[in-house]
Amino acid sequence: MVIKTTIVVGYMESVRKEYGIKNVVFSPDFLRESKALYDNVYPKFSVDFS
């Protein structure tokens, strides 16, 4: 399971416990409010999974 958003501290652990899923990862959004479109088109960071 991949969660793509900005989350609060401790949220991942609660998801693991509630759903019994051990391989949960998240990909945070690195968007600035005033430049969301630009940040989506030209991301500063890239998170890859294999």
Structural domain count of the chain: 1
Asked whether residue 14 is assigned to any structural domain, the reply reads: yes
pTM: 0.45
DSSP H or E run through 16: helix 11-19
Q: For the segment 8-50, what is each residue's pLDDT rounded down to a tens digit?
A: 788 888 888 998 988 877 777 777 888 888 877 887 777 666 5
Asked whether residue 21 is assigned to any structural domain, the reply reads: yes
Asked whether residue 28 is assigned to any structural domain, the reply reads: yes
Asked whether residue 8 is assigned to any structural domain, the reply reads: yes
Asked whether residue 32 is assigned to any structural domain, the reply reads: yes
- Domain containing 12 equals 2-41
Give the E-state strand segments of the chain in sequence order.
2-3, 25-26
